């Protein structure tokens, strides 16, 4: 139908004439309440955001000569972060002459990975970046 006639019909109903597909030949239009349509779309977007889960990246820092009690405390924190659903970056910093014995740092990181293998999986393998060795652990998928 002609554009003028469609506009008159939309005004008679107290609604808007909205172009749905401008690239079609001829263009496709719809008579609708555009304000209500926009409101419903915004509401859908808001509801989708509510159901979205935000995962954070937490960090647990170690040193090469970490004590047993300190190690256990940091592992407890790591487990708490993982149970909450967060990703955990395990990092180890070399200080001074510790930098000479980098294999000791990798041993500590691998020990953390082995001790947390039942509830985590490795997202990023341990790698050296300057004075740091870091790895990223993620919660294991729960089997239903």
Lowest mean pLDDT among 84-98, 113-127, 130-144: 130-144
**What is the reported pTM?**
0.62
Peptide bond into 131 cis (omega under 30): no
- What are the backbone angles phi and psi of residue 119, rounded to the nearest 5°? -125, 5
Domain 3-50 sits in CATH at 3.10.20.80
pLDDT in tens, 17-47: 998 888 888 889 999 999 999 999 999 999 8
Per-residue confidence (pLDDT) for residue 69, from 0 to 100: 96
Which tops the pLDDT comparison, 82 or 53?
A: 82
pLDDT of residue 3 exceeding 90, the answer is no
For the chain, give the mean pLDDT: 90
CATH 3.30.110.10 fits 57-139, yes or no: yes
Domain boundaries, the chain: 3-50, 57-139
Give dist(CA 80, CA 56) in Å, integer.
13
């Amino acid at each position: 139908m002609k554009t003028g006639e469609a506009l008159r019909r939309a005004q008679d109903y107290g609604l808007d004439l909205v172009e749905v597909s401008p690239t079609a030949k001829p263009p496709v239009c719809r008579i609708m309440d555009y304000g209500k349509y926009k409101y419903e779309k915004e509401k859908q977007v808001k509801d989708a955001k509510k159901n979205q889960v935000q995962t954070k990246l937490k960090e647990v820092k170690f040193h090469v000569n970490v004590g047993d009690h300190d190690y256990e405390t940091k592992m407890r924190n790591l487990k708490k972060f993982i149970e909450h659903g967060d990703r955990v970056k395990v990092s180890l910093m070399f200080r001074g002459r510790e930098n000479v014995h980098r294999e000791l740092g990798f041993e500590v990181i691998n020990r953390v990975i082995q001790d947390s293998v039942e509830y985590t999986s490795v997202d990023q393998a341990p790698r050296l970046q300057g004075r740091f060795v870091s790895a990223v652990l993620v919660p294991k998928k729960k089997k239903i």
